[in-house]
């Protein structure tokens, strides 16, 4: 079984010295000497707004050899038994699960509210819902369920068989490409302009639920986080879980 672990990056970094881990440079920055997403069938020029999705697209369209692919980032990796997840452990885990995702990140509010308050505009999600209703109405229940839950598996990180990955990409990019003409980026600040990457984080959770996949979540190794930052992250997660739980009890979680 050929496993390829892609590390999406837009900047220079020191890749882990592990077999099957391959940096994939995205966007139009100076050539760093690695595999790039601007060859073959590609959408590299969209990277400022599509983020790591230009890399995901490149893998979908141009990797015809891998049996299994994983997506991580230059500063975020799946954690395995011996640090960064190894290919042998991936093969073992995929024997019992359909897809591996990043551990659930709790929010203090619903996914819908969090996106509207921090990442973009509520209209983005409303427009995506309308597109799903037209393209894949059977996924609407999953969409609404994810929008009302209190957190996500984030970062567009995943590990799965390549054929399943391809099926997800067909579904995802069909939705986002239909959305794109209606988005006027003049209305968005620099952070919000990463709209397509943010939406994809949510849509991965929708697709997995709509397809009723067997999911295994794994901790994420944050290689650029200090010990103090990691402690603050754990405290934030505890507070978010508590606050969202209280809102559910008091009926405050409606979109």
Sign of CA dihedral 180, 195, 48, 132: negative
How much is the pLDDT for 255? 41
E strand or H helix that includes residue 125? helix 122-135
- Rounded-to-integer distance, Cα 120 and Cα 165, Å: 26
pLDDT at 237: 87
Cα–Cα distance between 75 and 19 in angstroms, integer? 18
Give the separation between CA 48 and CA 27, rounded to whole angstroms. Answer: 7
- Block mean pLDDT (10 aa), the chain, length 255: 98 96 97 98 98 99 99 98 97 98 96 96 98 99 98 98 99 99 95 98 99 98 90 89 82 52
- Please report the pLDDT score of residue 254 as a whole number: 42
The predicted pLDDT at position 247 comes to 78
Helical ranges in 21-147 per DSSP H? 47-50, 53-62, 87-93, 111-114, 122-135, 140-147
Cα 63 versus chain centre, distance: 19
pLDDT in the model for residue 250: 74
- For residue 249, the model assigns a pLDDT of 74
What does the pLDDT read at residue 252?
62
Name the β-bridge partners of 160. Answer: 69, 99
* C-alpha–C-alpha distance, residues 110 and 149, integer Å: 5
Q: How far apart are CA 112 and CA 202, in angstroms?
A: 9
d(CA 195, CA 198): 5
Which residues are paired to 222 by β-bridges?
76
Complete domains list, the chain, with CATH: 3-249 (3.90.550)
């Amino acid at each position: 079984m050929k496993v390829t672990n892609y590390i999406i990056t837009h900047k220079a970094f020191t890749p882990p010295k592990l077999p099957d881990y391959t940096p994939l440079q995205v966007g139009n920055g100076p050539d760093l000497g690695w595999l790039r997403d601007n060859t073959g069938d590609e959408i590299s020029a969209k990277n400022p707004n599509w983020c790591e999705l230009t890399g995901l697209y490149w893998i979908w369209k141009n990797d015809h050899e891998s049996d299994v692919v994983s997506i991580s980032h230059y500063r975020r990796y799946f954690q395995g038994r011996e640090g960064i997840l190894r290919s042998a452990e991936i093969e073992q885990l995929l024997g019992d699960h359909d897809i591996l995702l990043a551990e659930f990140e709790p929010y203090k509010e619903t996914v819908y509210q969090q996106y509207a308050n921090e990442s973009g505009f509520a209209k983005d999600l409303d427009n995506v819902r309308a597109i799903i209703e037209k393209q894949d109405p059977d996924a609407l229940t999953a969409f609404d369920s994810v929008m009302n839950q209190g957190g996500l598996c984030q970062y567009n990180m995943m590990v799965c068989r390549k054929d399943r990955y391809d099926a997800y990409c067909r579904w995802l990019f069909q939705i986002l490409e239909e959305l794109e003409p209606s988005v006027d980026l003049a209305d968005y600040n620099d952070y919000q302009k990463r709209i397509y990457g943010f939406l994809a984080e949510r849509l991965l959770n929708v697709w997995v639920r709509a397809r009723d996949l067997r999911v295994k979540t794994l901790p994420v190794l944050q290689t650029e986080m200090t010990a103090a930052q990691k402690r603050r992250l754990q405290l934030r997660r505890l507070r978010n879980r508590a606050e969202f739980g209280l809102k559910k009890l008091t009926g405050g979680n409606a979109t």
